[in-house]
Amino acid sequence: MTPMSSIGRLKDGNATFVAHPEAALPITSERRMELAKGQTPFASVLSCADSRVPPEVVFHTGLGDLFVVRAAGQVTDRSVLASLEYAAEHLHSPIIVIMGHESCGAVKAAMDTPATKSLGVNLDYLLKSIRPAVTASAAEPESSRLRVAILKNVEDSLNDVVEGSPLLKKMLNDGEIGVVGAYYELGSGRVHFSDAVIKTPAGAHK
Ligand SMILES: [Zn+2]
């Protein structure tokens, strides 16, 4: 699959989830048996760990379809990057989706916690990673500030993935993978995608 056809399949799956959230996910015992031999997920998703945002469900996918990495606020660290590298290089997953969501508690916590206040070494690490998005949205009106910070945090996570991994950056520049941001609406179930970053290698014919 190409990065664009992967995104198309994700959009189709999300449309099914929006219109028919009760529809059973495409999981069969035959497919489960087949997958015991190996996996070729058609997309990788880095999403927030929030219980309301399970990528396999919101994209209406089955076993073996998505390579999913999750952390609060979809913050990257080395384990996250190594996982995404594995999916891209070894499993040939053609697209990396960085998905944030409406009312993200991690972004809200970064917004509400002064930088000088410590909440413990691990949470401090998480909030520090999100804080640039909060700073960038500081001038927004109160009513849209959280949403703008969440969108900016998706953009920051996307840049962190590309800049934090020489391997993924090279694969992106060589046109082997694409990256795209996404925003999930809790109530409607709808996923909004940003413009995908997909490069065509110089001299390539397609
Ligand atoms: Zn969240």
C-alpha torsion angle, residues 30, 33, 38, 41 (rounded to 10): 40
Which residues are near ligand 1, the ion (C-beta closer than 5 Å)? 48, 50, 104, 106
pLDDT (0 to 100) of residue 203: 45
Total tally of structural domains belonging to the chain? 1
200 Cα–ligand 1 center, Å? 33
Say how many Å lie between the CA of residue 61 and the centre of ligand 1: 21
User: In this predicted structure, what is the pLDDT of residue 120?
Assistant: 97
Q: Is residue 118 part of a domain?
A: yes
The parent domain of residue 188 ranges over 3-23+30-35+42-193
Residue 201 lies in a domain: no
Q: Residue 200 falls within a domain, yes or no?
A: no
Distance from the alpha carbon of residue 163 to the mean position of ligand 1, in angstroms: 22
Percent of the chain with pLDDT over 90: 96
- As a whole number of angstroms, the distance between CA 124 and CA 102 comes to 22
* 204 domain-assigned: no
Q: Is residue 7 a part of any domain in this protein? A: yes
pTM for the model stands at: 0.95
Confirm whether 128 is domain-assigned: yes
Residue-level pLDDT at 202? 56
Mean pLDDT of 117-145: 97
- CATH number of the domain at 114, please: 3.40.1050.10
